[in-house]
């Protein structure tokens, strides 16, 4: 307990005594922790954007005009029970007709030809959304398997999967590439954070190398020498994480006001507020660990007298 009190006292004294070094170290750590926080914001934006893109991808299963209500209900139930299906929307004949008229409202000849038919030429359909864009082929195989749908298979007129298959495959490749790029950027930022923190703490400790050498020569233990620097580094991490989390409030508020429409409704500030405690805990742990580990590595060099 005596040793612990002395180490804590020496660490606090060193923190206040070397204000310039402490402020500089905290400033660098704030930048580092802000970079780490940005990783979570970037990941949130990416996940939201990918989810929105996946929502817009679907396949349409067109039914024959004479499909019975019982057959339609059975097909919908079967589709909803498939493990890789996220959502199934039934589109009636009238809804299909209304959408066609809306799409061709400026094409008088097409609308005139439609009126001449005297009846609705369209059948009902299902819009099927998968849990993942890579699941559409499995869904297609299930729908085409007559054993899955039984007699209701005869009510299906056409499935547009093959018309959009190439587009879905291209989208899957793009998403895969973006995910790998995101992982690479995260690793780069983590390495940069570690290097910046280590070099900052090492430079701070460098000014005390002679003091460390003298303490070592007069018989001070490695624990006693290293302890105050560990305490100082822990304070750097604590204060830096608090400052970083406070800076993110106005930053995310300003950015969200400019980018909410661009990111299709994703509000960065709202997301940050709802995750602020988790982010603070991560920044606190990251800041303290980075500082303490860096200080221990940096002091080790000067303990070899």
How much is the mean pLDDT over the chain?
Answer: 77
Q: Tell me what pLDDT residue 300 has.
A: 72
For the entire predicted model, the pTM comes to: 0.63
**Domains of the chain: which residue ranges?**
2-53+172-302, 57-162
d(CA 48, CA 183): 16
Q: How confident is the model at residue 108 (pLDDT cuts 50, 70, 90)?
A: confident
Please identify, in words, the CATH class of the domain defined by 57-162. alpha beta
Residue 290: pLDDT band with limits 50, 70, 90? confident
Residue 1: band (very low, low, confident or very high) from pLDDT cuts 50, 70, 90: low
Give the CA distances from residue 280 to residues 36, 196, 213, 231, 289, in Å, rounded to whole numbers and listed in that order: 11, 20, 37, 20, 14
Task: Answer whether residue 24 shows pLDDT above 70.
Answer: yes
CA distance 204 to 232: 10
Ranges 19-23, 39-43, 62-66, 273-277: which has the least confidence: 19-23
* Bigger pLDDT: 74 vs 144: 74
284, 241 Cβ separation under 8 angstroms: yes
pLDDT digits (tens, 9 = 90+) for 109-131: 777 777 777 777 788 888 888 88
CA-CA distance, 50 to 297, in Å (whole number)? 41
What is the radius of gyration, based on Cα positions, of the chain? 31
- Bigger pLDDT: 88 or 25? 88
Residue 98 has pLDDT above 60, yes or no: yes
Q: What is the mean pLDDT of residues 294-302?
A: 72
Quick one: tokens of 216? 């070592």
- Mean pLDDT along residues 164-174: 75
Query: Phi/psi at 264 (nearest 5 deg)?
Result: 55, 45
Phi (first) and psi of residue 126, to 5 degrees = -115, 135
In angstroms, the CA 26 to CA 18 distance is: 12
Which segments within 120-253 are labelled E, that is strand?
Answer: 125-130, 156-159
Q: Please say if the pLDDT value at position 82 is more than 60.
A: yes
What token pair was written down for 112?
């005139």
* Rounded alpha-carbon distances, angstroms, from residue 178 to 9, 43, 202, 263: 50, 11, 36, 16
What digits encode the pLDDT tens for the residues 206-258? 766 777 777 777 776 777 777 777 777 778 788 888 898 888 888 888 877 77
Is residue 94 scored above 80 in pLDDT? yes
| Length of the chain (residues) | 305
Give residue 261's pLDDT band: very low, low, confident or very high (50, 70, 90).
Answer: low
């Amino acid at each position: 307990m005596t040793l612990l009190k002395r180490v804590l006292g020496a660490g606090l004294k060193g923190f206040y005594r070397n204000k310039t070094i402490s402020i500089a170290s905290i400033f660098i750590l704030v930048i580092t922790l802000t970079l780490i926080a940005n990783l979570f914001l970037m990941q949130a934006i990416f996940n939201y954007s990918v989810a929105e893109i996946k929502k817009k991808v679907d396949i349409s299963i067109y039914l024959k005009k004479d499909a019975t209500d019982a057959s339609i209900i059975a097909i919908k139930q079967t589709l909803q029970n498939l493990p890789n299906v996220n959502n199934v929307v039934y589109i009636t004949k009238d809804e299909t007709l209304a959408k066609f008229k809306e799409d061709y409202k400026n094409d008088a000849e097409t609308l005139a030809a439609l009126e001449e038919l005297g009846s609705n030429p369209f059948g009902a359909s299902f819009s099927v959304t998968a849990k993942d864009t890579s699941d559409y082929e499995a869904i297609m195989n299930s729908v085409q398997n007559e054993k899955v749908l039984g007699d209701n298979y005869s009510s299906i007129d056409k499935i547009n999967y093959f018309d959009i298959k190439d587009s879905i495959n291209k989208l899957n490749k793009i998403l895969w590439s973006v995910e790998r790029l995101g992982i690479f950027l995260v690793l780069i930022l983590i390495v940069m954070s570690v290097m910046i923190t280590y070099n900052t703490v090492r430079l701070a400790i460098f000014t005390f190398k002679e003091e460390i050498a003298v303490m070592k020569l007069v018989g001070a233990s490695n624990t006693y020498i290293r302890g105050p620097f560990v305490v100082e580094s822990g304070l750097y991490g604590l204060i830096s994480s608090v400052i970083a989390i406070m800076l993110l409030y106005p930053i995310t508020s300003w950015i969200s006001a400019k980018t909410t429409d661009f990111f299709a409704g994703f509000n960065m500030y709202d997301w940050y507020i709802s995750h602020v405690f988790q982010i603070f805990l991560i920044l606190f742990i990251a800041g303290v660990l980075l500082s303490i580990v860096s200080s221990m590595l940096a002091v080790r060099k000067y303990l070899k007298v």
